[in-house]
Amino acid sequence: MKIFSAAQIREADAFTIAHEPISSAQLMERAAGKCATWLEEHYAPHYPVYIFCGKGNNGGDGLVMARLLLDHGYKVSTGILQYGAQASADHQLKLEALQQQYPASLYAIGDVSDIPTLPPDAIIIDAIFGTGMSRPIEGWLAGVVHHINGQRGKHTIVAIDMPSGLRADESSVQQTVIQAHHTLSFECYKLAFLLPENAAYTGEVHILPIGLHPDYITHTPTRYLLADPGIIQTIYQPRNPFAHKGTYGHALLIAGSYGKMGAAVLSARACLRAGVGLLTCYVPQCGYNIMQLSEPCAMCVTDEDPHYSLHFHRSINPATYKAIGIGPGLDTQPGTAKALEHLLDSYQQPMVIDADALNLLSVYPYLLYKIPAGSILTPHPKEFERLFGATPNEVARLELLSQQAIKLQVYILLKGRYSAIACPDGAVYFNNTGNPGMATGGSGDVLTGILTGLLAQDYSPKAAAILGAWLHGFAGDLAAAHLSQEAMTAADIIQWLGKAFLEGI
């Protein structure tokens, strides 16, 4: 699914009006109709509805919703904010219609004091500003937003298209923004919805299709995309009936150290369950029995050192392996950094670099320039900051993420609720499978194993990153559905990986 900017959404709107064709007033009826239907499906008519309208088309949506809900027996109170701007043409049209049919519903808001006291079970509809937000909300309008936010504990707040004050494509940190419980947004996700810094504003996001013209959607390129089942199905390659274990690659995982062998075991199991042909694990001596007993399907090579992997550059022939994953539980010994440098010098294929291997790269940043092109780096936000520095907000972080992926010609998968996969060509894919049950030690190690397993099977790095993140989150969702978010562990993500292949693709 493409993520359009606010400017592109305006273009899509105009394209639809011209080519469907449909009048803008009718398109507004359709969009607001979807919101009214959503509300009716979730709240019975005895809930009083308080709609706050701006003077643009977002306010127009609010006016249409008021009329439709009144038609269906809801009690609706519609306040229009009287700031300086000229009301948009469609706003004026919808205002006249409401005035004619339901004049008693309407009142003007010129200051916070004009807002009535709301009854206990009221629902607040925020139709003040949508994608037309052009500057921060200030003055008494900011007072209205603060007043509405002050009601959050007592009333449900539903934002139309965008929580007012939120910028679709820019950071809204430290600005005045509605804190909605639900956001009903039209046609597609906006970039702002995918950033953790906006979670308190959007609440739960519901995307309502409003029939924007498919030609515009298909032919307009976007920098940001959301991985959806359609994309996943085009990536997935079913196995060849004549396959043998050589067909699906020999992967090497360099992971684990004294006290952190669990990370290596989790990665190895996930790599096997992702479908790799053969797997060798490189571990320190202390990890030999652990690995052999925990995962009989994997082969095991040990370092000379009892506790750390310090010599893998000497004891393995990188050319043997179709894919290498390095980092989970590895520790950050100087000797490991040296071995990593030798490995980067001698291995030309894309590899998966995670956890302590990333931490070593941040201590020795010149190593970043030795990473084979097309490799996948999987930092969580703290590791990302150690590697590339802090940013004032998450929009700036996304920009930095993309710049680094282009500069280093690698894929950087920044992990989180919506993991962002920045590609060397500048595209950024977001993943929306997964849940907070995965916020538990070892989940990232599982992802490394999956990605390494997919790379070994000859998926391109881009395909492996998108499909791997999707499967990882989908398996996590299945685990949570069966075990609860609280009780699930990273090991359960692996257990549900098979079902994720069967049901998620």
Ligand X SMILES: NC(=O)C1=CN([C@@H]2O[C@H](COP(=O)(O)OP(=O)(O)OC[C@H]3O[C@@H](n4cnc5c(N)ncnc54)[C@H](OP(=O)(O)O)[C@@H]3O)[C@@H](O)[C@H]2O)[C@@H](O)CC1
Tell me the binding residues: 57-61, 126, 130-136, 161, 164, 263, 329, 380, 415-419, 444-445
Q: Is the dihedral of CA 430, 474, 234, 271 positive or negative?
A: positive
Burial class (CB in 10 A: 0-12, 13-18, 19+), 238: exposed
Within 10 Å of residue 466's Cβ, how many Cβ atoms? Answer: 27
Q: In the structure encoding, which two tokens stand for residue 12, read together?
A: 């899509």
**Which of residues 236, 417, 483, 495 is near ligand ADP by CB under 6 A?**
417
- At residue 298, φ and ψ (nearest 5 deg) are -105, 145
Regarding 354 and contact with ligand X (CB under 6 A), the answer is: no
Residues in 467-496 at the binding interface with ligand ADP, rule: CB under 6 A: 472-473
Q: Which residues contact 226 (CB under 8 A, 6 or more apart)?
A: 1, 2, 3, 189, 194, 429, 430, 431, 432
Residues 6+ apart with CB under 8 A from 332: 356, 359, 360, 363
Residue holding tokens 């609720």?
A: 417
Q: How far is the CB of 85 from K ion (least distance, A)?
A: 15
444 lines the binding site for ligand ADP (CB under 6 A): yes
Binds 131, which of ligand X, ligand ADP, K ion, none (CB < 5 to 8 A, cut-off by type)?
ligand X
3 vs 446 by CB, closer to ligand ADP: 446
| Residue ranges in contact with K ion by CB under 5 A | 126, 159-160, 164
Phi, psi dihedral angles at 487 (to 5 degrees): -80, -20
CB of 172 to K ion, least distance (A): 13
Widest Cα–Cα separation across the chain: 86
135 binds, among ligand ADP, K ion, ligand X, none (CB under 5 to 8 A by kind): ligand X
d(CA 152, CA 124): 9
Pull the structure tokens for residue 29.
């009826």
For 137, counting Cβ atoms within 10 Å of its Cβ (0-12 exposed, 13-18 middle, 19+ buried), the class is buried
CB of 180 to ligand X, least distance (A): 14
4 contributes a contact to ligand X by CB under 6 A: no
Confirm or reject binding of residue 13 to ligand X (CB under 6 A). Answer: yes
Residues 331-390 that bind ligand ADP (CB under 6 A): 380
Beta strands in 102-175 (DSSP E): 106-109, 123-127, 156-160
Which one of K ion, ligand ADP, ligand X, none interacts with residue 249, CB within 5 to 8 A by kind? none
The rounded distance, in Å, linking the Cα atoms of 421 and 466 is 7
List 214, 246, 259, 441, residue binding ligand ADP (CB under 6 A): 441
3-state helix, strand, coil in the chain (%, to 5): 50, 15, 40
Annotated binding site for K(+): 58, 126, 164
Binding residue for ligand X, selected from 3, 28, 178, 355, defined by CB under 6 A: 28
Contact with ligand ADP (CB under 6 A) among 439, 482, 484, 498: 439
Contact criterion met (CB below 8 Å) for 322 and 278: no
Annotated binding site for AMP: 415-419, 444
Our CA angle for 36, 141, 205, nearest 5°, is 35
Q: Which two tokens stand for residue 350?
A: 């894309």
Selection from ligand ADP, K ion, ligand X, none that 27 binds (CB < 5 to 8 A by kind) is: ligand X
Asked if residue 177 lies in contact with residue 201, where contact means CB atoms within 8 angstroms, the answer is: yes
Task: Using the minimum distance from each CB to K ion, give the nearer residue, 51 or 421.
Answer: 51
The only residue of 415, 450, 456, 494 in contact with ligand ADP, by rule CB under 6 A: 415
445 is a contact residue toward ligand ADP (CB under 6 A): yes
By CB under 6 A, how many residues form the interface with ligand X?
33
The interface with ligand X within residues 122-181 (CB under 6 A) comprises 129-137, 141, 160-162
State the amino acid at position 18 in one-letter form: A
Shortest Å, Cβ 381 to K ion? 29
What is the nearest approach in angstroms of K ion to the Cβ of residue 64? 14
Residues that bind ligand X (CB under 6 A): 9, 12-13, 27-28, 31, 54-61, 83, 85, 88, 129-137, 141, 160-162, 186, 210, 212
Residues that bind ligand ADP (CB under 6 A): 380, 415-417, 419, 434-436, 438-439, 441-445, 447, 472-473
